[in-house]
Amino acid sequence: MVPQTAQHGRALVRRSPSRKPSLAGTLTIAWFMVQALVAAPPALSQATQEQEALTYTGLIEELDAGNVARIEVDSSRGIAQVFLKGGNDQPQQVPLFADEQYNQPVFEAALNNNVSVVSQPSSDNNVMAWLVNALLMFLLIAGVLMIFRRSANASGQAMNFGKSRARFQMEAKTGVMFDDVAGIEEAKEELSEVVTFLKKPEKFTAIGAKIPKGVLLIGPPGTGKTLLAKAIAGEAGVPFFSISGSEFVEMFVGVGASRVRDLFKKAKENAPCIIFIDEIDAVGRQRGAGIGGGNDEREQTLNQLLTEMDGFEGNTGIIIIAATNRPDVLDSALLRPGRFDRQVMVDLPGYRGRLGILQVHARNKKLTPEVSLEAIARRTPGFAGADLANMLNEAAILTARRRKEAVTPLEIDDAIDRVTIGMTLAPLMDSQKKRLIAYHEIGHALLMTLLPHTDDLDKVTIIPRSGGIGGFAKPIPSEEDIVLETRARLIDRITVYLGGRAAEEEIFGHDEVTQGAQSDIQAVAEYARNMVTRYGMSDLGPMAFERAPGGEVFLGRDLMNQAPEYSEEMATQIDRQVREIAVRCYSEARRLIRENRELVDKLVDLLVDQELIEGTEFRKIVSEYTTLPEKDSLPVSV
């Protein structure tokens, strides 16, 4: 058992913070280490250690007996090395007195017996002393140089604090060209004029056209805004400055404005050139009115950026390209013509765009002939370029993990599910829980198949996924699902969302429903409220009572305008309309489940056994019991 004091001491050792030794401490430790080496007596050989130690009195006796050959005296160490006759040339060390008068008997005995006494200072001691002096001198010089170097670095950082941190390339060797950017042909066409202007400005100046000063790339994350800027630089072959908006802003007021001035100064010296500012919303947010304070550093940086882009001095030959996915938060002064003359939308790609992106990213992937990029493009509406690249990379990783030579359609399918839903977990072992989840998912899948204004079922499974997903019924989204939504499609979508809860209540009863429909009910509330308050799809008429979500509150503008846009009486009617939509759709979902109970039980048995049913097989089974409706995706003329 360890004593309490020892435990406390160990705790102190563990908790004590590690401190970096100072220069003076290092020199002190080195000094004591060297002194210890100098003061340490030389190790005796094994033969000498085995001999009996010779004392001061014994030395006189040996001298009188004539057994001593010679004596070497090391006065600096106070030691007499005695060489005996008939010995093995290994001297014995005899300590002498510090006072010379006490050593006279030894010298007299040596003189009387004709024994030579030689004063021989220790050569080892001289060498060690020289090493000590050299080491101390080296440490002293190194310490002085270190102090000067730290001082120089500190002063250099202080002098460069306001310098621009933009990465500069005299020749833009980004390695990206327009051929490497696919899916955003409209944006490429607009920006190709900028490249032509940089290469052949006389083509435009001859008819009086001026080069655009700024181009703002706007689009959702992952659509290729930064990649497009690299392609512009690679195509133009002009000096290229690249910086992020967050690199302008620092803790100290005035540093960001100084960096903006330094950046444009360097750009003017290398004109014509391109300045690319990524995530410009970090520095270009709308300026407040001073209510509750503000960010003086960011606002001064923005003011300096506005001045440099369109001030008294012209920036001929400098094109500023900026990228953001939040154009709604940018200051209006930054967006006016003369600063950002063009705003290019880099939106989510359509079918042809996704196909082009897949062809670009599939160049270095080994795909089997069964893999169809056209089929993948049709299955992935709503995917950005980064999503498609990530999906193909996940498919390649799965292929390597499964030790296959090339990517097959199975890996593509698993990769799409992993990107959109989550990673596959171990299948459920509890048969009762497994059957409950199967009824829930079959409720979604069956309504998705029976209702006319929904997308076709892709697959239904009860294999768990990461994020707490016990199973899912996945539709094949259509292109129109992203652009247009009819009232009939929204009603059927709400009904499909309620299919899982409806199946639980019809099969197990009102008291046995679970919280598994939590996310479904949240989606129902959102869709139903948007239909009433934003889309005008209710009995209240074509009225918009709420603004679109996602906007941020800016001090001095939106903070004072947060009052409700309708009366309390209208709020009651809105709540009544939202509830009516949800209740009507839930009743329809329960009716369809009730009328197809035999079909539901058969599909559940099959799903529990196989754990996954493909959409084609599912529709084939349903068609044996009832007539499938004809799916319509767009409204027709009446």
Centroid of chain to Cα 375: 32
Residue 629 in domain: no
87 and 193 part of one domain:
no
Of 368, 390, 419, the domain-final residue: 419
Instruction: Work out whether the CA dihedral 280, 282, 286, 287 comes out positive or negative.
Output: negative
Together in a domain, 136 and 236: no
User: What CATH number does residue 410 fall under?
Assistant: 1.10.8.60
- Residue 384 banded pLDDT, cuts 50, 70, 90: confident
Residue 5 included in any domain: no
Same domain, yes or no: 229 and 320: yes
Model pLDDT, residue 315? 58
Same domain, 226 and 320: yes
Whether the per-residue pLDDT at 595 is higher than 90: the answer is: yes
**Predicted local distance difference test score (pLDDT) of residue 429:** 65
Please enumerate in sequence order all residues whose Cβ is within 8 A of that of 628, keeping only pairs 6 or more positions apart, or say none: 449, 450, 619, 622
Extract the tokens encoding 212: 């655009």
Q: Is the same domain home to 230 and 333?
A: yes
How far apart (Å, rounded) are the C-alpha atoms in residues 471 and 445?
Answer: 11
The shares of helix, strand and coil residues in the chain, as percent rounded to the nearest 5, are 55, 10, 35
Q: Which tokens hold the place of 533?
A: 């308050």
Q: Kind of pairing, strands 240-244 and 167-169?
A: antiparallel
In total, how many domains does the chain have? 4
State yes or no: pLDDT of 501 exceeds 90: yes
pLDDT, residue 171, reads: 53
Tokens representing residue 79 in the block = 């030691």
Quote the pLDDT of residue 282.
Answer: 82
- Residue 492's alpha-carbon distances to 404, 487, 488, 588, 636, in angstroms, are 42, 9, 6, 10, 18
pLDDT band of residue 2 (cuts 50, 70, 90) is very low
Query: Does some domain include residue 473?
Result: yes
pLDDT tens-digit series, residues 426-451: 676 667 888 999 999 999 999 999 99
Domain shared by 614 and 515, yes or no:
yes
For the residues 103-130, what does the mean pLDDT come to?
Answer: 69
* 325 & 356 share domain: no
Q: Are residues 320 and 178 in the same domain?
A: yes
Closest CA to 512 of 521, 503, 525: 503
Beta strands in 318-379 (DSSP E): 318-324, 342-345
CATH number for the domain including 504? 1.20.58.760
Question: Is residue 204 in some structural domain?
Answer: yes
Q: Of 135, 159, 183, which marks where a domain is finished?
A: 159
- 8 A C-beta contact, residue 456 and residue 476: yes
User: What's the confidence (pLDDT) of residue 305?
Assistant: 83
Q: Which of 238, 265, 612, 274 is nearest to 460 (CA)?
A: 612
Tokens of 25: 């401490």
Same domain, 471 and 356: no
Q: Quick one: 475 and 410 in the same domain?
A: no
- Same domain for 259 and 171, yes or no, is yes
CB-based burial, 249-259: b 16+ in 10 Å, e otherwise:
bbeeeebbbbb
Contacts of 389 (CB under 8 A, 6+ apart): 357, 361
- Whether 634 is covered by a domain: the verdict is no
Residues 6+ apart with CB under 8 A from 269: none
Which residues are catalytic, by number? 441
Tell me the two tokens of residue 412: 């593509």
Q: What is the pLDDT of residue 254?
A: 64
On whether residue 425 sits in a domain, the answer given is no
In-domain check, residue 11: no
CATH number at residue 196: 3.40.50.300
Same domain as 581, residue 481: yes
**Structural domain ending residue among the three candidates 115, 134, 159:** 159
DSSP-assigned letters across all residues of 596-638 = THHHHHHHHHHHHHHSEEEHHHHHHHHHTTSPPPPP--S----
Helix, coil or strand: residue 28: helix
Q: 55: domain CATH number?
A: 3.30.720.210
3-class DSSP state of 291: coil
pLDDT 10s digits, 248-280:
766 555 677 788 888 888 888 887 788 888 888
Q: Which domain holds residue 371?
A: 351-419
The two beta strands, 68-74 and 116-119, are parallel
Q: Please report whether residue 637 resides in a domain.
A: no
